[in-house]
Amino acid sequence: MKSVRKGLRDGDLEKDTYDRVNCAECGQTLKTQNDPDEVFSVRICPDCEVEYKDLR
C-alpha cells in the first residue's frame, strides 16, 4: 500500500481544483476509511479498489 504523497509524486493520483484527491486512471475521487486506533486513514478508489494510506 503506497502513501497518498507517493501516489501524487508518481502520477497515480492527482488533485483537482478543490484539493480532492482523484485516481489518475479512472478519475474517481478517493473514499476514506478511518480507523480510530491507527495513525493513518486508508483512501480507496471506488472503481479500481486501489488503497493508499494518508497520514492524519
pLDDT of amino acid 56: 67
Alpha-carbon distance 17 to 42, whole Å?
22
The residue count for the chain: 56
Positions in the chain short of pLDDT 50 = none
Structural domain range at position 6 = 2-55
User: Are 42 and 54 a contacting pair, CB within 8 Å?
Assistant: yes
Tell whether pTM > 0.75: yes
pLDDT of amino acid 37: 84
Structural domains counted in the chain: 1
Grid cell, residue 14, equals 492527482
pLDDT of amino acid 39: 87
pLDDT of amino acid 44: 94
- DSSP SS3 for 9: helix
pLDDT of amino acid 53: 93
Give me the phi and psi of 9, to 5 degrees please. -65, -40
